[in-house]
């Protein structure tokens, strides 16, 4: 069973001492594609180096909404990094009104700049949205026909899902899908060709590893949970999301076969 981790953060400091082992466990667990997502300029540079070193790892270039008030100074460098052949998307960008580590207006400006860059470079967009449903939904609608994006770590609501699907966007599910509070109907309502799975590692470890550091090898638990929610087999979910990740990020059939 081949698995694709469409969103994680391998450059996080928690992987500093054992990244080789983390990647080895991922491969042994059948994870043959990993996209490591950047959150600021330094992170984007580190992600690019990592993607250059590993044939089954790709990277993105972007500035997280938490860092949005510093985005203007770094955006020229983000543009340059986004042109690297191992960079497959723009982001992570978006809106986070729960913590507001950056002013809302700065977040909206940064989001708009990422959208423009994605359109210019014809790359997909990786979007974070938290406590900002109305504004995110409006932006998704405005992007229809210009940029294809993914709402990562998707937990609803249904209205935002409908807007994303209408705009031709994708959604991606994390270990939250293994939690009792997760809405099964939400996962069941996504067309088979419009969703991906992710770990968001080192965050959001799935049951039975909840509360520990997350890593790509645990993606199988997300696949199993989605299979239960959708009334499908884990193999069906793995196959669909492998293909969807390839198509969304334009990976061209590249990946690593699972360990035998």
- Quick one: pLDDT at residue 140? 98
Q: How confident is the model at residue 251 (pLDDT cuts 50, 70, 90)?
A: very high
Q: How confident is the model at residue 74 (pLDDT cuts 50, 70, 90)?
A: confident
The whole model's pTM is what? 0.96
> For the segment 130-169, what is each residue's pLDDT rounded down to a tens digit?
999 999 999 999 999 999 999 999 999 999 999 999 999 9
> For the segment 81-112, what is each residue's pLDDT rounded down to a tens digit?
999 999 999 999 999 999 989 999 999 999 99
Q: Which domains does the chain show, CATH number per domain?
A: 3-249 (3.20.20.140)
> For the segment 42-64, what is each residue's pLDDT rounded down to a tens digit?
999 999 999 999 999 999 999 99
Is the pLDDT reported for residue 117 higher than 60?
A: yes
Is the pLDDT reported for residue 256 higher than 60?
A: no
Q: What is the DSSP string of the chain?
A: --EEEEEE-TTSGGGTTTHHHHHHHHHHTTEEEEEEPP-SHHHHHHHHHHHHH-TTEEEEE---GGGGGGHHHHHHHHHHHHTSTTEEEEEEEEEETTT-SS-HHHHHHHHHHHHHHHHHHT--EEEEEES-HHHHHHHHHHHTTT--EEE-S----HHHHHHHHHTT-EEEE-GGGGSTTS-HHHHHTS-TTSEEE---TTS-PPTTSTTS---GGGHHHHHHHHHHHHTS-HHHHHHHHHHHHHHHHT-TT---PPP-
């Amino acid at each position: 069973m081949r698995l694709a981790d469409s969103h994680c953060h391998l450059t996080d400091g928690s992987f500093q001492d054992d990244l080789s082992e983390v990647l080895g466990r991922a491969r042994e667990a059948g994870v043959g594609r990993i996209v490591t997502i950047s959150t600021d300029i330094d992170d984007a540079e580190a992600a690019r180096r990592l993607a250059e070193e590993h044939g089954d790892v790709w990277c993105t270039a972007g500035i997280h909404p938490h860092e949005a008030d510093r985005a203007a100074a770094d955006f020229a460098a983000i543009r340059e990094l986004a042109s690297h052949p191992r960079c497959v998307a723009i982001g992570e960008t978006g809106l986070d009104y729960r913590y507001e580590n950056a002013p809302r207006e700065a977040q909206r400006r940064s989001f708009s700049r990422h959208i423009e860059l994605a359109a210019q470079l014809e790359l997909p967009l990786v979007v974070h949205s938290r406590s900002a449903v109305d504004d995110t939904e409006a932006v998704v609608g405005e992007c229809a026909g210009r940029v294809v994006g993914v709402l990562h770590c998707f937990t609803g609501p249904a209205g935002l899902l409908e807007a994303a699907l209408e705009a031709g966007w994708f959604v991606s599910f994390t270990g939250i899908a293994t939690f009792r509070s997760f809405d099964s109907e939400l996962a069941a309502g996504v067309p088979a060709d419009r969703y991906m799975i992710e770990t968001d590692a080192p965050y959001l470890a799935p049951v039975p590893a909840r509360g520990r550091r997350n890593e790509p090898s645990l993606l199988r638990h997300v696949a199993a949970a989605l299979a239960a929610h959708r009334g499908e087999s884990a193999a069906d979910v793995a196959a669909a999301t492998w293909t969807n990740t390839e198509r969304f990020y334009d990976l061209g059939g590249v990946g690593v076969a699972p360990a035998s």
